[in-house]
Amino acid sequence: MVSRYLQQILPDVKIGLSIYANLPYSEYLTPVYENKSIQKAIFLVDHIGFQTTLDASSSVKEIRNLFPQKQIIFCCDTHVANVVITLAAFSQLVFKNRYLINHLVLIHLCSTHVPASDSEAVPEMVRQINQLYDNTNFVPVHFCHQDIDREEQEALMAASGLGIFLGPHSSTLIASKKFIVSQNDRRASLILLQDLSLKISNGAIAAVEGSSDITALVTALHGALTMCPIDAEKRYAQSFKFVLENDTIACAHRFIQAFVGDKTPYLYPTVD
């Protein structure tokens, strides 16, 4: 309706349409393909652009203000074993490198799909780590057994300087790609299982061979946190390029194919 109305009152003006696609989650475009009213509106516009991330700048700033001069490590998992291993690796990392404890904050999200009874040992483990390393200024480990909305998660990802994704599942791969896309002014590092890493960027991302290898995870964490900024930016650029070419643009092409015809508008598959 908006497109038709604009065309009537401003017949000589080019009309642009911005679609929030939340790439690389291409399934969010399914309603566009199935809704005829939306399709008619699309046929009336001259240009289409994808908005791939929300304007989370204010939320990102608020998150960073909570942890001034600290690097946030973001971890998201649905398996208790991986949560325990990540916590153990973080504890070993700061035990061996005490100077890091004043510069790091680990925020670990665990979905409510994991029953509280399965993760009952985790809060005690978090308490012990915080008791050893916390001070009056901040608490180093935050474990959140809850589901947060997409906007909050995007803001948290964008505020983080390192992401850890260990689950060997497609959802983990998607989440890791979303982490890459969410980075705006930062160039965060990423740690994945080796098989997932190879699918993303052919070795551009730090990888561990198995999620149960605590020593390997400690090594990967230390390497990512102490990496030369120039090398970190190069690795991020490779990862971002891979996601852009293999997911974002591919999704845009599928969008075009769904609306093949003489009236198909120009499409700009860009990542904002």
Percent of the chain scoring above 90 in pLDDT: 10
State the pLDDT confidence band at 269, using cuts at 50, 70 and 90: very low
First-to-final CA distance of the chain = 26
Mean pLDDT of 205-229: 80
Task: Enter the tokens of residue 69.
Answer: 């001069």
139-to-11, 14, 72, 76, 157 alpha-carbon distances in Å? 59, 53, 12, 19, 19
d(CA 137, CA 70): 11
State the pLDDT confidence band at 253, using cuts at 50, 70 and 90: low
d(CA 77, CA 111): 7
State the pLDDT confidence band at 89, using cuts at 50, 70 and 90: very high
Query: How many other CB atoms are found less than 10 A from the CB of residue 244?
Result: 19
Percent of the chain scoring above 70 in pLDDT: 59
Is residue 146 within 8 A of residue 180, CB to CB? The reply is: no
What is the secondary structure of 206-222 as a DSSP string? EEES-TT-HHHHHHHHH
| pLDDT reported for residue 94 | 92
101-to-87, 105, 141, 229, 245 alpha-carbon distances in Å? 14, 8, 10, 20, 37
State the pLDDT confidence band at 233, using cuts at 50, 70 and 90: confident
| pLDDT reported for residue 30 | 61
Pairing status of strand 162-165 against strand 71-77: parallel
State the pLDDT confidence band at 91, using cuts at 50, 70 and 90: very high
| pLDDT reported for residue 87 | 93
Residues 6+ apart with CB under 8 A from 71: 103, 104, 105, 161, 162, 225
What is the secondary structure of 57-106 as a DSSP string? HHHHHHHHHHSTT-EEEEEEES-HHHHHHHHHHHHHHHHH-GGGGGTEEE
- Average pLDDT of the chain is 74
pLDDT digits (tens, 9 = 90+) for 138-185: 789 998 887 787 778 888 888 898 888 887 666 777 788 888 878 765
Is residue 236 within 8 A of residue 183, CB to CB? The reply is: yes
Q: Is the pLDDT of residue 57 over 90?
A: no
Query: How many other CB atoms are found less than 10 A from the CB of residue 126?
Result: 20
Cα-only R_g, the chain: 21
Q: Is the pLDDT of residue 56 over 70?
A: no
pTM score: 0.74
| pLDDT reported for residue 272 | 46
Beta bridge partners of 71: 104
| pLDDT reported for residue 106 | 94
Q: What residue ranges in the chain does DSSP mark as E strands?
A: 16-20, 47-51, 71-77, 104-110, 141-145, 162-165, 189-193, 206-208, 266-268
